Amino acid sequence: MQIWTHRGNPGPENTLEGFSQAWIDGIRHFETDIHCTSDGVLVLAHDSDISRLTGQRKEINDISWQELQEHKIDGEFDWTTLDELHTQYDQAQISVDIKSDHALEPFLQWAEGKDLSNYIVGSFSAERVNRVREEFPTLTTALTSKEILFIAAGLGRLLPGHSAKRVAMVPPRFKGIKILTRSFVDFCSAHSIDINVWTINSDEELDQIRHLPISGIITDHYRRFI
């Protein structure tokens, strides 16, 4: 079973330091998120603003890369660009969640001409995922929320076919709805869709899904599982 570090945790969130320590510890699967600065730099960040990590109430898409770097994560760590992660860890499997419309076009431009065979690209926005699929039809993408709910409800047969690989990046439940239904698991197995489950942080949580044919877990505490 693959162990994915969620945002580089338990190291400093979405930083090279966090992912570097995970790599040293033998983790080869990275999950991260991207936003875009006002001058078009794709940065690893989950939230649209930087207040949780820096104490400053600023939106990433309203400030430049230079200004962003003036506000250290946890008062100590530099922000990391997607390009830095891509360059330094081209042997890692990387799952990227495009968090905003503002980041979509810069991502498409950044991806042009790159070997992204080790990437999974997803978003909570189906429009963003579908745009990525249109521009890069062979790129592996995560199932959209609509696709996930259709499959979980036993309606996967109604979804259009596809040739590129799809991956399910899913929680066991979402907003009270059970995702890992028998229909979901059977459909994914029949269509070669890997299932990676988030966010699994305890043995008890893992025990609840261990019997299922999942490919991996995404966790804030990878050391508990290696």
168-194 pLDDT, tens digit each:
999 999 889 999 999 999 999 999 999
Check whether the bond before 199 is cis (ω within 30° of 0).
Answer: yes
Containing structural domain, residue 63? 2-225
- The sign of the dihedral angle between the CA atoms of 163, 165, 170, 172 is positive
- pLDDT, tens digit (0-9, with 9 covering 90-100), for 209-219: 999 999 999 99
- The sign of the dihedral angle between the CA atoms of 177, 182, 183, 187 is positive
CATH number assigned to the domain comprising residue 55: 3.20.20.190
**For the chain, what is the domain count?**
1
Place of tokens 């890992």: 180
Q: What's the CA gap between 198 and 167, in Å, rounded? A: 13
- pLDDT, tens digit (0-9, with 9 covering 90-100), for 58-103: 999 999 999 999 999 999 999 999 999 999 999 999 999 999 999 9
Give me the residues paired with residue 93 across strands. Answer: 29
